[in-house]
Amino acid sequence: MSPASDQSDALYGDVIMAHYRNPRRRARLACPDVETEEFNPFCGDRANLQLRLARSDDAAATVQDVSAVAEGCSIIQASASLLADQVCGRTLEQAADLSQLFRDLMQGKPLPPVAVAELGALEALAVVRRYPVRIKCALLPWVALEEGLRRLR
């Protein structure tokens, strides 16, 4: 590995650990519009996601608030925290698009620079691809998001 690769791995690791140690948006919502939970029985990982929407007559529904609580390894907890940060303020369509971009990242599909920019801090989870068994950990909160979006449609 090159020194530049080592530096980016360290930076990505720092992002993951920061979200693991201090996860964002874990407070439960009083009146969510949708709540979903996903569970991986093989490892015990669990992700609970709540969304509250803001709606107006002339605009698409927007994610006004998010609660993302994950139990399990550092990867699932960081992924849930990053998801919550990135999804809040987006329309449902934008959230679905972001979810697909994240899936593409986890599957190692080539992404154009504009897509990488759209992922923002989520790109830190790209290092998980080196450990294929952990990809499911990173994706579980996103499966919960996708199920929530399906329910809202």
- pLDDT tens digit sequence for 90-149: 999 999 999 999 999 999 999 999 999 999 999 999 999 999 999 999 999 999 999 999
> For tokens 């990505």, what's the residue?
12
- Could you tell me which CATH number the domain at 3-152 has? 3.90.1010.10
Q: Say if residue 3's pLDDT is above 50.
A: no
- pLDDT tens digit sequence for 27-52: 899 999 999 999 999 889 999 999 99
| pTM for the whole structure | 0.88
Domain ranges of the chain: 3-152
| Cα→Cα distances 144→1, 16, 36, 111, Å | 35, 20, 6, 23
Q: Which two tokens stand for residue 113?
A: 């620079």
